[in-house]
Structure 1
Amino acid sequence: MIKGLYDHSAFQRNQLLQWEKTALEKFETRMKDKNRPFPCIPATVGFNTNQLRYGFVGDPRTSSAMHDVVLLLSDYTKTAKKYGKFTSLIIFYETPQDLKKTHTVEMFEQLFWQQLRRLCEHDEMEWPNHIPIDPHNPIWEFCYNGEPFFMYCATPSHQNRKSRYFDYFMLAITPRWVLQEFLKHETLAKRIKEQIRKRLENYDSILIHPDLNSYGNPDNYEWKQYFLRDDETSLSQCPFHQILNKNVE
């Protein structure tokens, strides 16, 4: 049976399996680190105000895990706005040792895009009219259940780009309206972006990835930022380029 959406109170419950408790504890440690603050400021604000929600699914190679991700994201899209202005859905995948030992960053990249493709296949709502279906359009964004989302993936295989490392395969799914709220004041938004880049420089042992950009810029492609490799390379074409939402005519 799929576990529901949790908040920080899950730490005080006995409902979680050991690996789930460990994942939450490691995530909490990362978000609370004052000496080496996590680069994504909206994520730390969401964490500190208990607006993040957490879900747990099985091995990302299994169909059952994909089924559970569909249920979690479907529930989240219906309830997200009641959690606060800086909410995100954090999905932890059970990541067995054989997966950690055998999968490279590029192999996890394939797993990530498989998750998004299958989400798209299970989406029962039409693609929003204001979001183009071509991922090579600068204002394209992944959508599910009628909601545009920024997708972030972390893996156990990242080494240089610590901002994309986590002990478990993990997704952080943030509604576009959250980012719009956070950056709605131009002067403040500029300062926040500068702080994020400084944090990235201190956090990672590699230069900031050249694909990092701002939504809406003519040379920006959101899909390239969803999964950043552990070097400066990236896919030349979005895996979504031939996928059209089945409800889009």
Structure 2
Amino acid sequence: MRKNRQKGLSLVLAMLLAYIPAGVFAQSSSSTNYRVDQTIFGTGGELDAVSGTYRARQTAGELTIGNTASLNYQAYAGFNTTDEPFIEFVVTAANIDLGYLNPSSVSTASGSFYVRAWQASGYVVRTESDPPANVSNPAQTIAPLGSPTASSPGTEQFGINLKDNSAPDVGAELQQVPDATFSFGQVESGYDTINQFKYNKGDVIARSVKSTSVTIYTMSYIFNISDTTESGQYTFNHILVATGTY
């Protein structure tokens, strides 16, 4: 007689941000009594125009603006170009309860995050969590997919990708905000194929190779169990680490 198994699994997305600049400095003009942090050569302008309600930076007569780069160096021209690098990383998903898992069908979930990086040589996003584990027996996990694999209900599988999938129907393509002329994030190989899922702790799942505006990524999760998967409640706290390169 086969024992009927029900497995409760909850999915929690958590975020960890790593910000690692590699020594970026801007030299100021100074003497014993004075220092100038922002020097403007042009026909006019004002660094800060402020009222009780609004604040703006304005310039006139700029000779050049934008980015110039070689293999080893890059620079941003423009009077109001900040000299301070930064990376912004936001996870927009909440806790997700998948209820009971069934060996005859796949369970899915999705969550999203966005990244942007300024004055940078790009960023990488890594996944740093162990696979979903049994709350009562943490050594028991749902088997992660070590290479891109299609979903197969009845076979124990855990995997993710960052694509708009049809089998199963879950996920979305990345979004470049405002568009691809300003944003350059991309999904890493191995996580960029529709209907193919993978999970290795420590893998890079997304990156940009230069300064970029916002790229919104959607992660798709699949959870499959077999008749021999240990019963119980499973949980997955997904830790993502974004690291800027400078």
Task: Tell which structure's C-alpha radius of gyration is larger.
Answer: 2
Structure ranking higher in strand proportion: 2
Asked whether the two chains share a fold, i.e. TM above 0.5, the reply is: no
Structure ranking higher in helix proportion: 1
TM-score, scaled relative to structure 2? 0.27
Structure ranking higher on relative contact order (CA contacts 8 Å, 6+ apart) = 2
